[in-house]
């Protein structure tokens, strides 16, 4: 255990470090985090006319500011914890095994309350700038997005509807380049508004009965596909048309 004089020196060292950290954080506005983004300092309302390289630099600086602020805040918390241990008379003993912490370790790391063997593991922070959300897919983080088999209209469907009007993607941006510039978005081949192909031309009444086929190009395409596969339909008896669809026999 450190002597009373050594304890006082360590206490003064901790208090001085705490003041310096708090002054540093206060003087630079929490490392600039009191501003929402660089726009606050320039008076700009939008990034739309800024070069992507400049925006990338600003994002990097915001990431660095967050890391520096978290490091400073964590250091202050550790100092406060060590000062509380001094007041309680437990400073100098490991919180886990109660073994005495060598004076050399306390002098090198005055904030520690653990011996070398029980020093807490260092956890990597996953706190990221909100601006980074533009780098992630526009879906996959909202309600129902994780339900792969769900047929409800979710965020992915919304993105596909919007992207069908055009995106900035080019064939070189895809692992498997699409054949048409109308398909420059994720799963462009997916049906929109229905799940199975036959839902595009088959309807029923409000009770789910009286199955009716509405002939159209999709209907003919579906019939041709069934002919090639040599299989029959799965939705029961259908009315007769010029091109009689397959009927499942009981």
189 in a structural domain: no
Phi, psi dihedrals of residue 202, rounded to the nearest 5°: -115, 135
Q: 177 with 202, same domain? A: no
190 in a structural domain: no
23 in a structural domain: yes
pLDDT number for residue 191: 66
Q: 81 with 118, same domain? A: yes
Task: Give me the helices (H) in the chain, please.
Answer: 4-27, 39-42, 52-88, 103-108, 155-163, 217-229
Phi, psi dihedrals of residue 167, rounded to the nearest 5°: -135, 180
Nearest-5° Cα angle at 187, 185 to 192: 100
User: Based on the number of CB atoms within 10 Å of its own CB, is 93 exposed (0-12), middle (13-18) or buried (19 or more)?
Assistant: middle
Handedness of CA 108, 112, 117, 121 (dihedral sign): negative
Q: 86 with 50, same domain? A: yes
pLDDT number for residue 194: 64
From CA 108, how far away is CA 148, in angstroms rounded? 53
pLDDT number for residue 16: 92
103 in a structural domain: yes
**Tell me: the pLDDT tens digits for 130-145?**
666 666 655 555 555 5
For the chain, which ranges sit under pLDDT 50?
Answer: 235-250
User: Which residues have CB under 8 Å from 36's CB, separation 6+?
Assistant: none
User: Which residues have CB under 8 Å from 34's CB, separation 6+?
Assistant: none
The domain tally of the chain equals 3
Of 154, 141, 232, nearest in space to 190 by CA:
154
191 in a structural domain: no
Per the document, the length of the chain is 250
pLDDT number for residue 84: 92
Q: 43 with 159, same domain? A: no
Q: 179 with 200, same domain? A: no
148 in a structural domain: yes
Q: 11 with 123, same domain? A: yes
Q: Which domain holds residue 153?
A: 144-183
**Tell me: the pLDDT tens digits for 26-73?**
888 888 777 766 666 666 667 777 787 877 888 888 888 888 888 899
Q: 155 with 177, same domain? A: yes
pTM of the predicted model, to two decimals? 0.45
From CA 181, how far away is CA 198, in angstroms rounded? 26
User: Number of helices and strands (H, E) in the chain?
Assistant: 6, 2
From CA 188, how far away is CA 174, in angstroms rounded? 12
Q: 65 with 126, same domain? A: yes
User: Which residues have CB under 8 Å from 107's CB, separation 6+?
Assistant: 10
53 in a structural domain: yes
pLDDT number for residue 236: 43
């Amino acid at each position: 255990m450190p002597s009373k004089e050594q304890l006082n020196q360590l206490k003064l060292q901790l208090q001085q470090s705490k003041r310096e950290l708090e002054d540093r954080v206060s003087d630079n506005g929490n490392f600039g985090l009191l501003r929402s983004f660089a726009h606050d300092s320039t008076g700009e309302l939008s990034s739309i006319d800024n070069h992507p390289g400049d925006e990338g630099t600003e994002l990097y600086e915001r990431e660095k500011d967050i890391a520096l602020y978290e490091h400073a805040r964590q250091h202050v918390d550790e100092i406060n914890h060590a000062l509380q241990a001094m007041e309680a008379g437990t400073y100098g003993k490991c919180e886990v095994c109660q073994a005495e912490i060598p004076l050399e370790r306390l002098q090198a790391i005055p904030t520690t309350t653990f011996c070398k063997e029980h020093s807490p593991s260092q956890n990597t922070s996953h706190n990221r700038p909100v601006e980074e959300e533009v780098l992630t897919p526009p879906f996959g983080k909202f309600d129902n997005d994780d339900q792969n088999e769900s047929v409800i209209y979710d965020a992915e469907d919304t993105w596909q509807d919007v992207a069908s009007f055009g995106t900035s993607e080019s064939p070189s941006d895809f692992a498997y380049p699409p054949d048409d510039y109308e398909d420059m978005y994720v799963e462009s081949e997916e049906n929109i508004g229905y799940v199975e192909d036959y839902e595009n031309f088959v309807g029923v009444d409000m009770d789910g009965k009286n199955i009716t086929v509405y002939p159209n190009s999709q209907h003919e395409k579906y019939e041709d596909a069934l002919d090639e596969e040599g299989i029959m339909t799965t939705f029961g008896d259908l009315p007769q048309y010029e091109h009689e669809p397959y009927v499942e026999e009981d």
